[in-house]
């Protein structure tokens, strides 16, 4: 929707501090385990080894969810040379602990500031870069345009217009929203949007950076707004914890919820 600004989540290919940084075995830990990226990275590793026969690549592949947990352990106990991780605040957590290496020289030598100007802020902490972007995806709100048109609803551009749209959908016996929170990060995406629309981008950044407590009254207001949507029965009546993001989207294609 146009009333929601686009948030692109860049994933950083970050270099970890390691005593084996200049060894002939290059250790890479990755969570690119979905079929397409898995195949692509296998080919990249193959070509790299062909171009650099004196370097052996040890490519350790994890599933997404276990990776998010185990990285906290092996970054400290047995850090690889290269890790796949998320940009922004999640990267900063490891930078602050001294677990990611400054790769600003790589950016300068390859003129990456010009090529990745939009991604650079998310890769930077205190003016230094700690990751190299290789992919991103849109994190937004999707809706069924045909259902909107069938019920005489224009694309909402304000909070109040979204409420009116949701009420019209309910009257037409169409559930307005679906949310899949089997994996909790998808719920965090909703919180991001709601908090930014409730308190503004600057406040949200301060919250993510730990400068504002989650017990702050302004954060409580965000959850109050969220509860208001839920109590108005605007979400699909399937236990959200059984729905992952993909099953949640399939509900939309099946015309059960609209957004």
Give me Rg for the CA atoms of the chain.
Answer: 21
Lowest mean pLDDT among 69-73, 110-114, 150-154, 183-187: 183-187
Q: Going by C-beta distance under 8 Å and a sequence separation of 6 or more, which residues neighbour residue 154?
A: 148, 161
Q: Going by C-beta distance under 8 Å and a sequence separation of 6 or more, which residues neighbour residue 176?
A: 165, 166, 169, 170, 234, 235, 257, 258, 259
Give pTM, 2 decimals: 0.70
- pLDDT at residue 249 greater than cutoff 80: no
- pLDDT at residue 66 greater than cutoff 80: yes
Q: Going by C-beta distance under 8 Å and a sequence separation of 6 or more, which residues neighbour residue 37?
A: 135
Would you say the CATH fold of 145-253 matches that of 7-138? Answer: yes
The pLDDT assigned to 250 comes to: 58
- pLDDT at residue 224 greater than cutoff 80: yes
The pLDDT assigned to 4 comes to: 25
- pLDDT at residue 155 greater than cutoff 60: yes
Residue 173 or 96, more confident: 96
The pLDDT assigned to 36 comes to: 92
Whole-angstrom Cα distance, residue 245 to residue 90? 20
Residue 20 or 89, more confident: 89
- pLDDT at residue 63 greater than cutoff 60: yes
Spans of all domains in the chain: 7-138, 145-253
CATH number of 7-138: 3.40.190.10
Whole-angstrom Cα distance, residue 230 to residue 74? 39
pLDDT class of 246 with cuts at 50, 70, 90: low
The pLDDT assigned to 178 comes to: 76
Instruction: Please calculate the CA angle 67-71-74 and round it to the nearest 5 degrees.
Output: 130
- pLDDT at residue 251 greater than cutoff 80: no
Q: What's the token pair of residue 138?
A: 């849109």
Say which CATH architecture domain 145-253 belongs to: 3-Layer(aba) Sandwich (3.40)
- Centroid of chain to Cα 67: 14
- pLDDT at residue 9 greater than cutoff 50: no
Q: Which is it for the CA torsion 101, 15, 64, 10, positive or negative?
A: positive
The pLDDT assigned to 159 comes to: 84
Average pLDDT over residues 231-249: 61
Average pLDDT over residues 97-122: 93
Average pLDDT over residues 194-205: 93
Residue 245 or 32, more confident: 32
pLDDT class of 231 with cuts at 50, 70, 90: confident
Q: What are the φ and ψ backbone dihedral angles of 133, each rounded to 5 degrees?
A: -70, 140
């Amino acid at each position: 929707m146009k009333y929601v600004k686009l948030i692109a989540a860049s994933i950083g290919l970050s270099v970890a501090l390691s005593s084996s940084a200049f060894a002939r075995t290059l250790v890479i830990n990755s969570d690119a385990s979905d079929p397409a990226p898995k195949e692509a990275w296998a080919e990249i590793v193959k070509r790299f080894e062909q171009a650099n026969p004196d370097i052996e690549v040890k490519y350790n592949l994890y599933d997404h969810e276990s990776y998010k947990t185990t990285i906290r352990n092996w970054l400290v106990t047995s850090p690889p040379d290269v890790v796949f991780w998320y940009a922004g605040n999640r990267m900063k957590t490891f930078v602050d602990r001294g677990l990611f290496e400054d790769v600003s020289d790589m950016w300068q030598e390859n003129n990456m500031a010009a090529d990745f100007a939009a991604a650079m802020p998310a890769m930077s902490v205190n003016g230094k870069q700690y990751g190299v972007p290789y992919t991103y995806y849109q994190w937004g709100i999707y809706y069924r345009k045909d259902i909107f048109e069938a019920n005489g609803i224009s694309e909402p551009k304000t909070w109040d217009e979204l409420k009116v749209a949701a009420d019209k959908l309910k009257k037409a016996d169409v559930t307005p929203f679906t949310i899949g929170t089997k994996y909790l990060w998808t719920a965090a995406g909703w919180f991001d949007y709601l908090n930014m629309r409730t308190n503004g981008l600057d406040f949200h950044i301060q919250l993510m950076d730990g400068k504002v407590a989650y017990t702050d009254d302004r954060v409580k207001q965000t959850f109050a707004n969220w509860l208001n949507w839920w109590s108005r029965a605007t979400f699909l009546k399937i236990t959200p914890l059984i729905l992952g993001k993909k099953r949640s989207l399939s509900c939309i294609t099946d015309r059960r919820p609209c957004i």
